[in-house]
Structure 1
Amino acid sequence: MKPTLLALLTAALLASCAPKTETTTTADGTAVETTTDTTGVDNPVAEGEGATDNASDPGVDSTLTNNDDASTGEEIDMAVGDGLEGTVTDFDGTAQTFTLNENDANYAVTITPETVFEGAATTAEEFFGTDRADASVAVEGEIDEAASTLTANKITLN
């Protein structure tokens, strides 16, 4: 009897950890299926938010599948709209600015004295001391979609 009870309890526990699927009906009668991740982890990629690249709205881009050196935490931050990854264009080492091309959208990137540099260049002087045109970078910070600007909190040179 004990092995049967143990098997039933184990099955119930495993079932309670599975994502829940719920169907709701909208006002116009359309059925909408929603999956809820019950593991307690906010995973926007697994839940569909940012699951694919979207050039018209880069704020929902997934960066988890692009084979760069960013950590999973950094990738998740960027996937939920706190940063972007792309290629450096219009590099100006003197003004310490550049344009980031991400999914064919361009963002004018500026830094502050608090901006952190990681990867192949760990200071502003190292980063801007060499022409970084066409370099691959990840930039976290404040994105202004309307003005196509990004004030960098952290820049990671890949």
Structure 2
Amino acid sequence: MFYVLASCLAVIMFGTSVAVEPSCPVCSKYEYQERLLERVLSNELELRNTLNKITETHAQVEDTLKAMKAESAKINDSMHALDVKRRDIDDEMKSLRKEVQEKKQELTDKVDGLLVTGVRNLTGNVQEMSTIVQSLVTQTSKELDILKGTQFCG
């Protein structure tokens, strides 16, 4: 505001300093002062108009600045919310990864247990069947020997 008033004063002083006295001797001193006063008044009106325009522009700039600050605050709030959301998602992903890893390990342990049990059962069954087959072979041999012996006897 001070600069505007200083500018106005400088323009008035410049206007009065370049104002030349009339070159024609017919003009009276009164007419000269009247013209000079008209110029000063004209300059003052122009300066007032300029001041009004500057004031309007200043108000518009301040309004725009306030709007920009409000928008900046909204953007900062949105950025903060997104950051919080990202952290929540990261935490959830870590939790899910851990849960999946635990489930995988649990399934691996169950499959390994089933395989061990199955192999043990299979081995036991094979041994039992081997014993039964061996017993059957022995019994069949004995019965065959008995049959051979009865064939020759009769």
Q: TM-score scaled to structure 2, two decimals?
A: 0.21
**TM-score, with structure 1 as normaliser:** 0.21
